[in-house]
Each structure stands twice: as structure tokens, then as C-alpha cells.
Amino acid sequence: MHTSERQRRSDEPTANAVARGLNILEVRDAALARNYMRHKDVPDHVIARVLDHPELRRRESPAQSISEAITPSTPEGE
């Protein structure tokens, strides 16, 4: 499958979980990203594809890049 033939995932909750998982991958590690996506019921074959084959990842939408971004939180008690 060529990049131009791939389309964005039509299952929005799964697409958002994958986008968030990839953000976790960027700031933490693959194990946490995999655990998060499993918790969100992303199919194992999708998790394997996005973590093990970055060249096969679908592009995230502009809205996903904002809504699924990981933002710093304020520590409790501050």
C-alpha cells in the first residue's frame, strides 16, 4: 500500500487513541504507549503497525494534533 492510497481512520475513538499513544511514545516510551492503546481497545495489529512501522502510520488530522496533545499538568498542591 502506498502512502497516497492510505486514508485516515474512520473510527474516530480509535484514531484519537492512536494519536494519543503516539504522543506518549514521543515523551515516554513504547511500553507505555502500547499499554495506553491496549487500555483504549486499539486492536493489537494496529498497535504493532504504528509502533513497529512508523512509515505505515496514517496522518493525524489537525484537530487530533491539538486534542490529543499531551500537556503538562500542575502538580497537586500548587
pLDDT (tens digit per residue) in 20-40: 999 999 899 999 999 999 999
Cell output for 37: 492503546
Q: Sorting pLDDT into bands at 50, 70 and 90, what band is 47?
A: very high
Report pLDDT for 25: 93
pTM: 0.67
Residues 6 or more apart whose Cβ sits within 8 Å of residue 21? 33, 34, 36, 37, 40, 42, 47, 50
Q: Sorting pLDDT into bands at 50, 70 and 90, what band is 69?
A: low
Residues 6 or more apart whose Cβ sits within 8 Å of residue 4? none
Report pLDDT for 1: 41
What φ, ψ does residue 53 adopt, rounded to 5°? -135, 75
Question: How many Cβ atoms sit within 10 Å of the Cβ of residue 57?
Answer: 15
